[in-house]
Structure formats: structure tokens, C-alpha cells
Structure 1
Amino acid sequence: MDTIFTRGPSINSRLALTLALSVMLIVIDHKFDGFNSTRVYLNSLVSPIQYLANLPSVMLSESAQRLTSHQQLRSENERLTNKLLMMSERLQRFDIIEAENSQLRKLLDAPVKPEMRKTVAELMAVDNNPFSQQILINRGAIDGVFPLQSVLDDRGIVGQVMEVGTTNSRVLLISDVTHAIPVRSVRNNIRFIASGSGSLDELILEHVPHSVDVQEGDLLLSSGLGQVFPEGYPVARVNKVVRDESLPFATVTAQPLARLDRLKYLLLIWPQAPVADDQPKEDQPTEAELIEGNKP
């Protein structure tokens, strides 16, 4: 019986024939370059298939790169946000330091006579007694502080030392009801007694006759009487004058120049050392300079 499929050459014969044809084609291509055009066409034909085969790899690579870029952006954004917060905190501290530095510069430029010894003190606490205007500073006996010593800020007289401890002292403010300071008007040299009213922004001029020449805006300086406060330091500015003839005295109030409600750094001054008659005295600030330096 005849078979449906006739049997062809054996596998070995086919392999040998294929190898022979391959070697012949390689030799012909190497020697005569006869398949250059054919190779170009074949490459063009296979190129789309290569792109399609490479497409998954490209997509995976781009996805991984985008994911990495997104993570990097999130990390960078988080880092910059944290850095911004840290820089903001530092900026706030720098603003505070700048304000304190400015206050210290003003304090050291206060109208203290050059030959006077002076020391900067810092506020430690404020007395919470509503009937007492006292503060605590961080200078005491080891710093040479003594009772009744004058205390100033960068604008004017704040008060005087009442109690001295080893490392701190208690200061009575000029606004305390038990405090009084002799002052004089820059405009006409009339002398007054400025007493505390119990309010940080008001002093009362005691027993001022109706006929006394006192006006709103007059600058009051320490007169030096009583040998407690040195002469010539700003104290207050008159802000109210009421002459009621039904009362024995005029009602005159003044606003302290020192910022008693926002004290931070203070200046302690020691009595002026005596200057010999044969030694030239250094120039002192004039009243006009004091007026200009203490205008609100």
C-alpha cells in the first residue's frame, strides 16, 4: 500500500545541506557584498517587530523613572518644607535678637554723663501686687548695687533701687504711689514734685498753683534735689493741665518717658566722680539736645 506522505531525505542529509548553503552564503557575502541591499530590506522589515518587542521594556523603564522622580520630588518638597520651617524659626529668633540689640544700643547711648560708671541689668520679674509698682532685676550686691541707686532705660528715669540682694535687687518704679521725684521744666526751670499715681503711664505734679507757667508738652528733667537722682535726666512730659479755680491747686499730670510697661534692659548708674577744678570738664548735653532726643 502506498503511504500518504512520501519519505524525503534524512535529517542528517538536510543538516549537511543547510550547513553547506550557509557557509557558501557567508563566503559570498564576505567576498562580494552581494547581500547588502537584501540586509537593508530585511532590517527594515524586522525593525517594527524589534520596536514592538522592546516596547514593554521602555514602558517599564519610563514608569520606574517617573515613579522615582515623583518620590524624589516628594522627598525634596518635604525637605524644603522642613527647612523653611527651621529658617522661619531662626528668622523669628533673629528678629527678637535684633530688637534686643537695638534696645541695648539705645540703652548704652542714653544721656549718661561719660564719667559715670554704668551697668546694664535685665528684668527678672514684675511684682504682681496691684497696689505696688516694683520690679526685680538681675544685679545685686556682688555687682556693686546699693539702695536708692538710680535706674534708667533708653528713654528716661525708671525708678530707684529699694532692696539689694546678693545677685538681684528690687526696684521701685516712679509710677508707684509712694514714690516722688523732684523735677524741673526745661522750658522755664520751674521746679515740681512728680509723684506716682499707681498707673504706669501717669505721674501727678503735686501742689501746682494756678499761676504757675506750666503747659502741655513741657519736658521734665530730674532736678538733682534730694541727692537721689542725678540732675538732668528725662523723667516725663506734661500731658494735661486743668485749672479749676474752685480747687486750691491746678491738676497737672505727666506721662513718664520711660516705657514702664515694656521694660527689658535697664541701666544702673553710679554717682558722678568729683572732677578737680584744674581738669577740663567734658561737654555735657544741652537742654535742646535733650528735648530733641526725647520727643515722642
Structure 2
Amino acid sequence: MDTIFSRGPSLATRLTMAVILSCTLIFVDHKLDGFQSTRLYLNSALSPLQYIANLPSLILNLSAKKLTSHQDLVAENQRLTDQLFIAGEKLQRFAVLEQENKDLRALLDAPIAADYKKIIAELMSVDRNPFSRQIMINKGTLSGIYRSQALVDEFGVIGQVMEVGTTNSRVLLLTDVTHSIPVRSLRNNIRFIASGSGGINELFLEHVTHSSDVAVGDVLVSSGLGGVFPAGYPVAKVTKVDKDERQEFATVLAMPLAALDRIKYVLLLEHETSFQNEEVQ
């Protein structure tokens, strides 16, 4: 009499058959690439499941984007950018004010220097002429920009406005060969004239005598002479001093502190009293 439930192969036999079949499939897939089309079909069949699994995350992201509009983000970004530039402009003067407080401790009751009106502009283009260092910004007379107005970034002085249009202006950078700026050493208050060399990151000091106390590492700030650049803004740092007695003057080179090769936004300065006088007139 036959039993109702017949016994199949033993567990050991089934394990051996499974191992042999698995090794055969691995060999065929690895060496003969026989399951490429099969994997393609499986991936295509499973892709809807992957999208469904990712659906909750997509819904949450879309909901978050709807809650925060694009205009709000743009306005917030612009506000933070403006605050960053204004804060950077103020930080530039802290080192100068600290040194002045040490030198003029007895005059702490003297009136505080007047503030400057600040206008933020954005870079439009860079002059391609290899013999000049000029840029265009997106502000002009409609925004109150005028010729010879000083520009700074978060690190130091950039240059001055050269030409003004209605909605844009041309700026002459510090390193242009036609540009010069009166400066003084933050260490000992000796005054110099820093002129552009034509390179993007190099200035030279004119007519420096061999007896002048100038050293590598000295920080140069605007002296305020000439009335174009407000006093006390960082300009450059001395990088080379060569006092060759065979030459009439010493060779002194400096590197601008402003990031002239990475300009994106600039800050234009004008004395507040200038606006007040214009309004009175």
C-alpha cells in the first residue's frame, strides 16, 4: 500500500542541488552576461514600486516649497547679502579705530567721524582689455552714483567710479596703471602714494626713500587726502621691500586686500553730509 505523502529528496541532497544551481547561475551571469536582459526587465518592472516608495518624500518636499514662495526666498537672500556687505564695511574700520584709540586715548571725547551713505551694486562685466583694469556695475545716476565715488568690498578698497551712465557705471580698479591712491601705514602713520601696476593683484609705492620705515607685512589704509577715498579703509599689505642703494628710490610692492579677481558685489560710499547739503540746495 502506497503512503499518502511520499518523501522527497533528503535535505542534504536539496542543499547540494541548490548550491550547484546557484554556482551555475553565478558563472553564467558573470562570465557570459546571460542575465543582462533579465535584470533590465526586472528593473523596469520594479521602477514603479521605487517611485511609489519615494512618493511620501516628494509630497513633503512639494508642500514645503509651496509654503515658502520663491519671492520670499529671493527677498530674504537679498536682505542677508546687504547686511553682509554693510557689516563687512564696518569691520574694516575696527582695526584702524583700535589703533587710533591707542594713539589718541586722551581725546576720547572728540566728536565721532560722520558716517557714509552706502549703496550696494552688482558686477555686470569685466573689461577684456589686458592693459586696463576696469569693471561695469549695475548702478548709475538714477541710484545717486557720481564720478570719483569710492568703492569697497568686505575686505578693502576696490577703486573709484570712472564714468557714470543712467543705469550703469564704469569703475577703475586700484591696480589699473592710471590709478593712484593716498595711503598711510597703519603701523607708523607714514604716508605713501600707492599706484596700480597693471597686474590684478599688485600695487607699488611711489618715490619711497631708502630711509623710510616700511616693512613687509605693513597694512596700508586710505589716508583721506585728496577727498576721493574716505580715511581709514584697508587698501593693501606690503609684500616686498627692496632698498637697492644703486637706485634712487626703494622698490616697494603691495597686494590689495580687496578680492579684485572675485568681485560680485561692491559697496559705494558717500559722505552723509554731501546728501544733506544737496537737499538744502
State whether TM-score is above 0.5. Answer: yes
* 1:70 pairs with one of 40, 43, 46: 46
1:137 and 2:150 are equivalent in the alignment? no
Equivalent position of 1:125 in the other structure = 125
Q: CA separation in 1, counterparts of 2:235 and 2:43?
A: 70
Counterpart contact for 2:124–2:138, Cα < 8 Å: yes
Question: Does the residue aligned with 2:229 lie in a helix, a strand or coil?
Answer: coil
Question: Does the residue aligned with 1:198 lie in a helix, a strand or coil?
Answer: coil
1:230 and 2:206 are equivalent in the alignment? no
Please give the TM-score of this superposition, normalised by the length of structure 2: 0.63
The letter for the 2-side match of 1:253 is L
1:243 and 2:219 are equivalent in the alignment? no
Alignment of 1:174-213 (within 5 A): 174-213=174-213
Alignment of 1:101-120 (within 5 A): 104-109=82-87, 110-111=89-90, 115-120=115-120
The letter for the 1-side match of 2:46 is H
Counterpart contact for 1:150–1:229, Cα < 8 Å: yes
Counterpart contact for 2:239–2:255, Cα < 8 Å: yes
Gaps of 5+ in 2: 5-41, 63-74, 94-112, 275-281
Equivalent position of 1:38 in the other structure = none
Alignment of 1:1-296 (within 5 A): 70=46, 72-76=48-52, 104-109=82-87, 110-111=89-90, 115-273=115-273
Q: CA separation in 2, counterparts of 1:71 and 1:259?
A: 49
Question: Does the residue aligned with 1:192 lie in a helix, a strand or coil?
Answer: strand
Counterpart contact for 2:114–2:271, Cα < 8 Å: no
Q: Aligned-pair distance for 1:230?
A: 1.1
Q: CA separation in 2, counterparts of 1:234 and 1:272?
A: 20
Please give the per-residue CA displacement for 1:55-82, whole angstroms capped at 9, x wherever unaligned: xxxxxxxxxxx99983542444787999
Q: CA separation in 1, counterparts of 2:195 and 2:213?
A: 19
Q: CA separation in 2, counterparts of 1:181 and 1:121?
A: 22
Q: CA separation in 2, counterparts of 1:202 and 1:130?
A: 15
Q: CA separation in 1, counterparts of 2:270 and 2:181?
A: 18
Instruction: Summarize the Cα distance change of 1:71–1:175 in structure 2 as closer, same or farther, 3 Å threshold.
Output: closer
Q: Aligned-pair distance for 1:106?
A: 3.4
Q: Answer with 1 or 2: which has the greater Rg.
A: 1
Please give the per-residue CA displacement for 1:195-238, whole angstroms capped at 9, x wherever unaligned: 00011111000111111000111110101111111111110011
Tell which deviates more after alignment, 134-143 or 67-76.
67-76
Please give the per-residue CA displacement for 1:82-140, whole angstroms capped at 9, x wherever unaligned: 99xx9xxxxxxxxxx99988764431111377731111000000011111100000100
Tell which deviates more after alignment, 233-242 or 108-117.
108-117
Instruction: Summarize the Cα distance change of 1:197–1:82 in structure 2 as closer, same or farther, 3 Å threshold.
Output: farther
The letter for the 2-side match of 1:107 is F
The letter for the 2-side match of 1:269 is L
Question: Does the residue aligned with 1:240 lie in a helix, a strand or coil?
Answer: strand
Please give the per-residue CA displacement for 1:1-43, whole angstroms capped at 9, x wherever unaligned: xxxxxxxxxxxxxxxxxxxxxxxxxxxxxxxxxxxxxxxxxxx
Counterpart contact for 1:103–1:265, Cα < 8 Å: no
Counterpart contact for 2:236–2:256, Cα < 8 Å: yes
Q: CA separation in 2, counterparts of 1:102 and 1:272?
A: 23
Gaps of 5+ in 1: 1-44, 46-65, 87-96, 275-296
* Structure 1 residue ranges (4+ consecutive) displaced by more than 3 angstroms after TM superposition: 66-72, 74-83, 97-106
Question: Does the residue aligned with 1:142 lie in a helix, a strand or coil?
Answer: helix
The number of aligned residues is 198
Counterpart contact for 1:175–1:202, Cα < 8 Å: yes
Counterpart contact for 1:104–1:265, Cα < 8 Å: no
Instruction: Summarize the Cα distance change of 1:170–1:67 in structure 2 as closer, same or farther, 3 Å threshold.
Output: closer
Q: Identical aligned pairs, as a percentage?
A: 53
Counterpart contact for 2:135–2:172, Cα < 8 Å: yes
Q: CA separation in 1, counterparts of 2:80 and 2:208?
A: 38
